[in-house]
Structure 1
Amino acid sequence: MSNPKLSVNLNKIALIRNSRPGNYPNVVNHGRQALAAGADGLTVHPRPDQRHIRPSDVRELAALVANYPGIEFNVEGNPFADPEGDYPGFMALVRETRPHQCTLVPDSDDQLTSDHGFDLHQASASLAPIVAELQTLGIRVSLFMDPDIEQLDLAKALGVERIELYTGPYAAAYPSRNDAYDALFERYFQAAVHARKIGLELNAGHDLNLDNLDNFCRLPGLLEVSIGHALTVDALTMGLDNAVNAYKRICACPRRERDA
């Protein structure tokens, strides 16, 4: 089985920076350090309110990653986010910076963080031209999704290359490891099996950490995990290089993938 790649989400570095005037900590420098420590890619989620990542960060990080062959830049966010102040709109920013992957997320301005996947019964028609445009630009499209097999079939029909499973519920249930957790993990596992069966590639992200990542890496076909909040917190105690290395070790030596 292939090992999932680690994409370091830099949102929380930007959030700390934004709490004071100036450019400290420097988001681009932290991205460079994460790559030097072994990260396989960088992720950002620019929101219209610019609570963390700013459009200038996206531009500068795109330029940084261009100097690292084989490293991927992933820009995630709501494709329907309109211009607001000096925020040019999500799609305009993506057109300008041309990331390797664009993860479309159904978040709204008043959400603290992303907390659910797309309902493609409602969203497919409006997403279809966006998916087509991104693919024309040579950008891989991933949809933020819950572990719902019917919804995965709709994602496949939409023509996207990947999905990113929203792992917040898994992370919340993990400490209990009770029957409800087992049933939930089985939903994720069967969603991964089904995604591979229908030809959808698989990413995952949200609240994954050093405790729960190893078990989640048992999912068949998992290609990439995007981790930011927990990795940033771990970096406070162990340093950024050591934190990246710790997550990379889990990705490189996950528990044996369970038979599908």
Structure 2
Amino acid sequence: MDAAEAAEAGAIRARIDTGKPHSARFWNYFVGGKDNYEKDRELGDHIKEIFPGLVDVARTSRLFLGRAVRHLATEQGVRQFLDIGTGLPTADNTHEVAQAAAPDSRIVYVDNDPLVLAHARALLTSTSEGETAYIDADLYDPEAILREAAKTLDLSRPVALIILNTLGHVADYAQARDLVNRLMAGLPSGSYLVISDSTATSEGMIAASNEYNKSGATPYYVREVAEIGGFFDGLDLVEPGVEQVTRWRAETADSTAVDAYGAVGRKA
């Protein structure tokens, strides 16, 4: 590591607050990752006592991502992916799934969490035919995201916009829809939207969300299934539409019922 890289690493570490839980680290703990701290694990263990099903949500949401990306790469010919709210790298990241199916795929990750930034180099692997990039940017500035993404992606050609387990952090539903609409407005016809989020479909999930929001971490608000569907207004839903993440084009007989719904929609 040279002096510039060391200085950058030091600046990133200075932004990391280990004194309170963080959503990316909390989720990393739930999927079996190692990039978390004591406060994240304490909250995770507490939430598991209240609602063990959240572990299934974390696990199956990751599997949904893989199925959606493979479907778009292999069946729809998509070669460009914009993944917002990347989170910490684990197994089967978007670029790994996409480039395994289509080596010439180009992927841009977007996040503004300093720990994710610290791990960006792990995400920036790529096939020689494709490309992977990382943007340190905020969901609340869609136009800046699109400007930066255009340095790697050709925004005159279809792009798959992926926003998983992220929009729940936007408290106001109308604002969340506006952010999605502004992002999709910058993408051409033939582009796709992929969204999944936890839903207010059980008392356990609602209780877990309320307890999480007391922790000091950035709050996460579970929404009704119809509100998840609302993000896709004006798009053509890919079958089977808005569905539990375990049941969206399931490749195995996973009958786990989870409080998380997702869908894929196409811009005409």
Q: TM-score range by the shorter chain?
A: 0.3 to 0.5
When normalised by structure 1's length, the TM-score is: 0.35
Higher relative contact order (CA 8 A, sep 6+): 1
When normalised by structure 2's length, the TM-score is: 0.35
